[in-house]
Amino acid sequence: MTKKLLFVALVVVFFALLVSAQDVHPALRPPKGAPVAIVVFEDLECPDCARAAPLVEEAARTYKIPVVRHDFPLQMHPWAYDAAVLARFFDTRSKAMGNEFRDTVFKHQIEITKDTLRGFAEKFAAAHKVDLPFVVDPEGKLAKLIEADKAAGNELRLQHTPTLYVVSNKRSGTPFVEVVDRSQLFQLIDTMKKE
């Protein structure tokens, strides 16, 4: 009887491992219709995120693949969360505008402080003919989106920003890989596209 129980236990463990190998976190999936994408968890106040952003944009343009951006503001950065809320506000006008705001923040990051962030966003809004309301997120809907991104990052056990992944819509093999060395980003995309 113990051999039979051992066999059943091994079968259960095998199938559990098989299911978990194919169970990829939803944040590590490309958008619908995209076979490959870049996923980035970023903090708008993070200097390394600002350094990585142009490379990510270049890779996306070169390979014609989407970039999925997740907000992961770190507690040690005093204006990062507020900047993420503002980016989400501009996302409501268009995703392209939200991403342009993020990229503009990265380009001017050194000039921005908690006290100057609102003025910076107002100038961006005016240049895009958008009215920036006095209270950007009165119902907390944008904050909930940021919290969902943070929760996803915590589930993935993120240790730093930016955290970059090259992801695919594959259900087996290697559906995602973390980009540990950014100089390898293009090579990782090539590999993911070939598989």
Q: Is residue 12 part of a domain?
A: no
* Residue 7 forms part of a structural domain: no
Structural domains in the chain (count): 1
What would the pLDDT profile of 30-39 be if each residue is shown by its tens digit?
999 999 999 9
Q: Cα separation of 63 and 190, whole Å?
A: 9
Reported pTM = 0.85
* Domain contains 176: yes
Q: In the chain, where does DSSP find H-type helix?
A: 2-22, 47-63, 80-93, 95-107, 117-127, 141-155, 185-194
Using one digit for the tens of pLDDT, what is the confidence trace for 138-163? Answer: 999 999 999 999 999 999 999 999 99
Residue 11 lies in a domain: no
With 50 as the cut, is the pLDDT of residue 7 above it? no
Both tokens of residue 172?
A: 């087996």
Contact 85, 137 (CB under 8 A): yes
The residue segments making up the domain with residue 109 are 26-194
Residue 52 counted as domain residue? yes
| Residue 4: predicted pLDDT | 56
Mean pLDDT of the chain: 90
pLDDT at 11: 35
Name the band, by pLDDT with cuts 50, 70 and 90, for residue 177: very high
9 belongs to a structural domain: no
Q: Which of helix, strand or coil describes residue 170?
A: coil
In this structure, what token pair is assigned to residue 14?
A: 């095998």
Q: What is the CATH number of the domain that holds 90?
A: 3.40.30.10
In a domain, 18, yes or no: no
Residue-level pLDDT at 172: 75
Report yes or no: 97 and 103 within 8 Å, Cβ to Cβ: no
In a domain, 20, yes or no: no
